[in-house]
Amino acid sequence: MSRATAASISHAALRHNLAELRRRAPNSRVMAVVKADAYGHGLERVASVLRDADAFGVAALSDAERIRDAGLDNRVVLLSGFDEPEDLPVLRRLKLDAVVHCDEQLRMLELDARSPGADPLRVWVKLDTGMNRLGFRPERVGELQQRLGDLRNVHAALQWMSHLARSDEFDVPSTPEQLAAFDAAMRDINGDRSLANSAAILGWPASHRDWIRPGGALYGMSVVDGKTGADFGLKPAMSLHTRLIAVKEVRAGDCIGYGGTHVCERDGRIGIAAIGYGDGYPRLAPAGTPVLVDGKASRIVGRVSMDLMAIDLDGCPGAQVGSPVLLWGPELPIETIASAAGTISYELACGITRRVRFMDE
Ligand SMILES: *Cc1c(COP(=O)(O)O)cnc(C)c1O
């Protein structure tokens, strides 16, 4: 039998989440962000299920290529834009929208405008309103509009975007300040606007504008501290599960696993599940992190190892070899596991490794 460890991806949950985001931002178009292999959910699968998104957002040219190879002709936005002049013909061939965020890219476009066959590209100009990662300073919008507007290899209608640094914190002024900086710079400028990532869609309706850019929320995940995707009416798309491959009787005083970090207080039963950090389950998840065995609440004991973990079977008298173990999913929020491991849900979903079998449901 093949290894039981699998990630099930719910197509219904993906569709529900897209519909829920459209309901929350009824006047916006949706750029579904499918970077990092659709946050670990599988790019081709997710893009096909969400094919009625108005556009897809990706971080790598190779991801855009995969979307086209899957036969999808949606708009695709290359969120970090192009890296070198040789990328531009590829953008044209794949009919991609380019984000332009820095002077180097601007100069590449200006040079490209002189070459034959330089058909117009659709461009999103990225402004840095406070994230201090990618983007032009907002006071340059006039100049950017002028320079890009003069180029025959750039579509006349420019789109304008910015990214929010703290949209997951609903009680700090950072997001309204970034919106104000964006609006002040854009006062005399036409063109579609886009600012809202998942947390902003959920918590800052004033940020919705022409295009929302949900990533995590599409997969039913939240990065708002203390909240799960379900708290916002979203459905987790991924369930990570495996089975027990051994059940051991242990005595008081026995030590479990590497480092012997867990010492049994009394006689009992320990289940060994076929999953570990080699599958992407975080090694930093401490003893006590919840798992479900046969649907019943239990907890990890000792250290997570590469292929295996040990589970306390005290509350699961019926558990035996072959019993199903759920690591996260609708019944056990990924946010709970992420918080126990000191990270966010996105990192866990992105970190599922290639040996995990993917199943569609
Ligand atoms: C990743 C990304 C998003 C999506 O962020 P989420 O928090 O997952 O919704 C939106 N916009 C840009 C530019 C991104 O890089």
Q: In this predicted structure, what is the pLDDT of residue 117? A: 78
Q: Check residue 63 and report its DSSP letter.
A: H
Q: Work out which ligand 1 atom sits closest to the CA atom of 99.
A: 13
- Residue 298 CB partners (closer than 8 Å, separation 6+): 271, 290, 291, 292, 311, 312, 313, 314, 315, 316
CA-to-CA distance for 125 and 98, rounded, in angstroms? Answer: 9
**Atom 8 of ligand 1, residue of closest alpha carbon:** 215
346 is catalytic: no
Amino acid at 308: L
What DSSP string runs through 116-171?
TT-PPBEEEEEE-SS--SS-B-GGGHHHHHHHHHT-TTB-SS-EEEE--SSTT-TT
- d(CA 135, ligand 1 centre) in Å: 14
Q: In this predicted structure, what is the pLDDT of residue 3? A: 85
Helix, coil or strand: residue 301: strand
- d(CA 321, ligand 1 centre) in Å: 41
Say if residues 242 and 5 touch (Cβ distance below 8 Å). yes
Ligand 1 pocket test: pick from 197, 218, 346 the residue with the most ligand atoms within 8 Å of its Cβ.
197
- Residue 224 CB partners (closer than 8 Å, separation 6+): 168, 170, 199, 202, 203, 231, 232
- Positions in the chain whose pLDDT score sits under 70: 1
Q: In this predicted structure, what is the pLDDT of residue 1? A: 55
CA-to-CA distance for 145 and 233, rounded, in angstroms? Answer: 39
The one catalytic residue among 39, 95, 235, 258: 258
- On whether the pTM is more than 0.85, the answer is yes
Residue 330: exposure state from Cβ atoms within 10 A (0-12, 13-18, ≥19): middle
CA-to-CA distance for 85 and 98, rounded, in angstroms? Answer: 13
The one catalytic residue among 35, 219, 277, 346: 35
126 is catalytic: no
Q: Work out which ligand 1 atom sits closest to the CA atom of 201.
A: 9
**Atom 4 of ligand 1, residue of closest alpha carbon:** 215
Nearest to 355 by CA among 271, 258, 277: 277
Helix, coil or strand: residue 92: helix
